[in-house]
Structure 1
Amino acid sequence: MSKPLGYYTSYTPDEDSLLEKLQEEYGSAFEKISKREKLSILMILASNLGCQIEGGVRGEIYAVAKEMTDKLSPSDQAGIMEALVSQIRWGQNAEPVHHT
């Protein structure tokens, strides 16, 4: 069972916010949103956050991501997504390695 929205966000009950509205409409753990819809939201939010960060993306990262989609099970892909979200949220970011 998933934790409620307030566990992951600044949401507090009765605050009349977007988070309150989302919880009322889609459930405290987004149980009224399908897996496909959740992945779409994740993709959109990730794209938005990525556009707010300066710098580029090394070409090899696109190749690695393509290899992941081709060779990893859906469960392992979701596990990598969970690991990346945790690292992005809690600051476990490495500087890119530049191979010469």
Structure 2
Amino acid sequence: MTKPLGYYTSYTPGDESLLERVQEEYGSAFEKMTKREKLSIVMILASDISARLDDGAVRGEIYTVARMMADQLSPSDQTGVIEAIISQIRWGQNAEPVHHS
């Protein structure tokens, strides 16, 4: 993350929020966290957001695709996939859930 946390969130310096405390502790670009720690936050937040959604179950094939990506892609390509998916979740269109009969 080359831009500060406030670029990506509603955080405003001086707002005394959780994001301000996190930025003070770990830096405006999380530079005081290891890559593993950053990925752990991504995993936990993604799990929380997913649990809050009410748009149907995840198709079994998606778990297979994810496992194949984990097994066959380089860490750099895996990170690229994460970035692409985050961009789609935040700014892009999402497909309607497929319901198999």
Query: CA deviation digits over 1:36-81, x for unaligned, max 9?
Result: 0000000000000000011110000000001101111111100000
**Where does structure 1 lack aligned partners over 5 or more consecutive residues?**
none
Aligned to 1:60: 61
Normalised TM-score (structure 1): 0.93
Relative contact order, CA 8 A, sep 6+: which one is greater?
A: 2
Q: Distance in 2 between matches of 1:92 and 1:34?
A: 32
Aligned to 1:31: 31
Q: What's the RMSD between the two structures over aligned residues?
A: 1.5
Runs of 4+ in 1 over 3 A off after TM superposition: 96-100
Corresponding residue SS for 1:40: helix
Query: CA deviation digits over 1:9-55, x for unaligned, max 9?
Result: 00111111101101100000000010000000000000000000111
Aligned to 2:72: 71
Corresponding residue SS for 1:6: helix
Normalised TM-score (structure 2): 0.92
